[in-house]
């Protein structure tokens, strides 16, 4: 199954990695690794995570206060947002068509 990022979601991932790397050496790299592990869990079990409406779901990261917001079809997973779970929880909704 293919994974595709919306451009704003790709930017969010990169921004969070940069931010955490400024907080502590390699912390951003650890965030990126966990984000990819979370995406792998989504690929393995696309319908297992918290539904947010329609085909949109959220899979929470384990160590960081972030969730991967995504939509899954039979052919691909579209990453809609890499969202901080305690800030502006619904900001990504305008990305869903």
Give CA separation, 26 vs 18, 55, 67, 97, in Å: 10, 34, 20, 36
Sign of CA dihedral 46, 55, 52, 16: positive
| Statement: the pTM of the whole predicted model exceeds 0.85 | yes
Query: Quick check: 4 and 77 in contact, CB under 8 A?
Result: yes
The set of residues, in sequence order, having a beta carbon less than 8 Å from that of 32 and lying 6+ positions away, is 13, 17
| Residue 57 clears pLDDT 80, i.e. is over it | yes
> Per the structure block, which two tokens stand in for 37?
């592990």
Instruction: Give residue-wise pLDDT tens across range 66-95.
Output: 999 999 999 999 999 999 999 887 889 889
Alpha helices in the chain (DSSP H): 7-23, 27-44
pLDDT, residue 1, reads 85
């Amino acid at each position: 199954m293919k994974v595709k990022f919306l451009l704003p979601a790709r930017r969010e991932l990169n921004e969070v990695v940069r931010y955490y790397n400024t907080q502590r050496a390699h912390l951003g790299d650890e965030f990126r690794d966990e984000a990819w592990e979370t995406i792998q869990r989504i690929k393995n079990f696309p319908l297992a995570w918290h539904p947010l409406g329609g085909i949109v779901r959220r899979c929470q990261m384990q160590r960081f206060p972030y969730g991967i917001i995504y939509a899954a079809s039979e052919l691909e997973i579209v990453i809609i947002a890499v969202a901080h779970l305690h800030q502006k929880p619904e900001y990504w909704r305008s990305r869903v068509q």
